Structure 1
Amino acid sequence: MSKLIWNTLKLSPLLLTATLFVATRTQAAEPLPLEEVQQTSVTQLSEEKAPETLAQVTSVSQLSDVQPTDWAFQALQSLVERYGCIAGYPDGTYRGNRALTRYEFAAGLNACLDRVNELIATASADMVNKEDLATLQRLQEEFSAELATLRGRVDALEARTAELEANQFSTTTKLSGEVIVAVSDVFGGNELAASGSGEPTGDDNDVNTVLADRARLTFNTSFTGKDELRTRLQARNVVPFGTGLTGTNMTRLGFDGDEGNDVQIDDFYYKFPLGEIADIKVDFDNGEFNDNVFTFNPLLESSGRGAISRFGRFNPIYRAGDGAGLTINLNPKGVISASASYLARNANDPTNSFGLFNGDYAALGQIAFRPSDNIAIGATYVHTYDNSTVSDITATNGISVSGATGSVFSNNPFSGASTSTNQYAVQASFKLGGFTLGGWGGYTVALNEDSPSQTADIWNWAATLALQDVGKEGSVLGLVFGQPPRTAKNDFGGRRDQDTSYHLEGLYRFPLTDNIDVTPGVIVIFNPEHNDNNDTVYVGTLRTTFRF
């Protein structure tokens, strides 16, 4: 008898024991079909459906769900400690009661055959009898077709993987995109009194129905698997329904902005974890507080899939600052977390009265209490300084106390004078079954830096309701009611809002597919610009969002 046959005979107990032990495991739920695994893309395997990597074990005691009282304990012990032919899952379990397909069995048998060849090559096998060899031969004959199919599929998958790796966009960067197309219009009576007091002009508003768009391409790069470098390109032509058209910023949409569809860098930052203690984020340009900290309005905060109005997305306090800066989120996964952020609007401008620390800036501090995914309560403080000087480089004026929401007086209470503010806010959200209740309240004390004795008090509040899966899974029915920022008191020249405006908004986000949402929505502004003399204004839009 040849040496090869003799060594094969010596290893047949290994295969027999493995076969008998593995075959008894076909008792539980049906596992993932091999066809589904084979058709999964490389990206999905690495992120969404990546199977758990098996780890070789050297002792049966390493498997936490295998006990000495189990009927197959001795067989498994032999396979592990004598032959090294069994692997466990990363969590230290073997999962011996889950089902397996014939392909999975063939894969296990093939692994043991490879181990046989390895032991034969090292001449380290023990003596066995002819009956075990016969069993081995029958197994090989029985599963020859499955083994051949498995090898063929593995070869094909390896070839496809190699092709994808050779032609992939990047080993570190992922590309995603979002496109918004919206049909919008403003309805109402006469053109508003832009001053926040007095009588309307008597003319009809000049707003016509528009078709506008916003496109974003996002490049997310990771060098360690835990960090992220984001570069987002944006082009849009959504002319704001603001003071220049309707006489008030209360009618603005949440996704507006017009650069004539010129492509610009819209978001540019790098963030990384500091162990489990903190997440660090450095904004190089166009950073915003609402992108850096939790805003307590998870279903309505998105500009592409959330509320259709600028005011309805989240508390205006998160619009108090923008630009370049640093954000630290402490204990981000804990029940209680803290955030600190600093943003400078003209950080790239080296001229006088600008730069990272000498120009417009905003500093935020926030405490969040999130005991579960269903409850979130927080308190936020922001201090800002807005310079009245217009930058020669950026050509921007920093006076926007309320983030271009609310009345003219609430954004520019001192008629262009340099302004500092102390802003305070509380907000909360509670998820109860299929709906989420939320809301916020905000109070701002503004100081005229040119005449420090002059101050203004500005208030805002809102309540939100979001119902999920109404009519179709993945849909959201949203309602927002509140008071946009209002200047209740002002020591400067009577720039105080005399009456009170109310914001009412309804929307329904309907998913046509996993990547296309259609959202009809209506905004109703009662007493616009906090002026009872102004007619009610209605803003309607049909927003379609494509994501890829």
Structure 2
Amino acid sequence: MKKLLIAFVLVLALAIPALANPFVDVPLNHWAYDAVQVLAAKGCVIGYPDGTFGGNRALTRYEFAQAVARCLAYMEQYVDEAGLATQEDIAMLEKLIQEFADELKNLGVTVEDLKRALGENSQAIKALEDRVALLEKYAEPVKVTGDFTATYTAYFPTDTDKTDAAWEDETNLYIAATINDYTTAGITLTAANSLGYGDAPNVTANNFWLIYQKDEWFIQAGEIRQNMIGLGLVLGDYQPDDPDDDRDYDLDYEGFYVSYTPEDSDVLWKALGDLNEFYAVRAEWEHVGVMATWMPEGTEFYNVDSDLVVSADVWTDFDDSDVMLTVEGAYAALSGAYGVAGEIEIKASDDATITVDGHYVVDGFTPADSAVTTSAFADDEMGFGVGASFILSGDEEGDDSWTLDLSYDWAAAITTGDMVTNAVEGTVTYVPFEAAKGETGIIHGLYDLMDSSFKVYGAYLNYPLDLDSENNEAYFSVRGQYDSANAEITAVGALAYEWIEEKTTLTVEGRYDSVTPADVQPWSAMAEVAWEMADKTNLTLSYEIGTWEDEYDDNWTGNIVDNAGTLTAELSVSF
């Protein structure tokens, strides 16, 4: 009942001038004084004959129904001229009338009365809201978001090159502008060291983009992400690996991308390119794609001179069957380099999927955007892979989830015949029913048949500890790996304790690495406090003794690299 009363007050709390206290038993400093005053001013509540409100007295359903009826009458009389009731207000009042339908019926009030009184007004409100939204869109065509990060780092004890304290700050402004109904544009402005500490301030503008989309056309200029485009085997990693480049996609480029789908046509045309590096035209229809790519600076792609590459890819699910086939190939017309790859995926049952793939890529042709997923491959290589994925349990509501993934990869160099890959991998993943956030168990093994070495990795992440508390939470994580190639054991254990109301988390972590440089201890430890100071504002303080480096390639590895103690303070704000 209290929630209904609060909602009712919100519906009717229109701006009114200050009025005298209508009831002798409602003091001015009472938390409900304003609400009572509003309801009395509207005639929704009239109190008792002795001039009291009776705030501590239980309200009967009949009394509440009378209040709803009075307020409906008020709204019928004044809402059109006031124009202040929104559709949400009306919907709330509808719910109140439906809740008290029987009592209101005795007073001659129905939901239809509300609809007749406010129906036209609701339509007018909707039209006004649409108009305001349109005006806001063009009144403020430029939207600016961003983030700011400031980091202070100091070392004690110091170690080799880790001696001097450092301050870094970076501000990113993401600017997006609506030009018209079909065109938007944006750019990122980055200011580094703008507070004047450490290196000289530096401001750069990058990641510009312009998008036009209307009817059959989609045109984008500026920063392009290759995951938008099916390319088959075409385009090697033409942007060399750069440790300072933190982009997620190796094949991002700055250039243009155009797609055009003629009306009443099954053909999709694409054109894309990066000035002075490559230009391509691609056509897609049904389950076929054909593409021609001109590369004026071939050394950026696969260390050969300029070339014209013609490629094609075919994919089909055989009319929604449980089999998916993908075949792709490419031929460099001037150099004679070529590659072909294929994959077939078979859903053997509701709980099992089998994948088989193969590839043959000659020297000088580097595949980049292949649809083949089981095997990773490079140029001058022929090979195949077999994979299987099984749902062991968890396909029914209430079950823990267990999955098993198995794969075998074999590959050899075409020019020499030397074997380059011969390995078996398997992964078991466990997710409990009603798992805590991120709670997962993993066991992964890899056996390399070329040198008879193996790796075994196991982890259980975010296991919830029972604190018997609604205000605090705690999680424990552990992971470890054994690499037989160098008899190395690495292990990490972490405890995270969270104060929910304070939005603060303390994490304590310990690490062990059995193989470290001669002058480096085999253990490392870290303590970190993360505090959400306010919405979108976070402060993190941490101290680490013994620098630990995580690496995620095909598998997780971790190493202790020095004895330095590192103190870090970081403030991050997003807006």
TM-score range, shorter chain: 0.3 to 0.5
TM-score by length of 2: 0.34
Q: Which has the higher contact order (CA 8 A, sep 6+)?
A: 1
TM-score by length of 1: 0.35
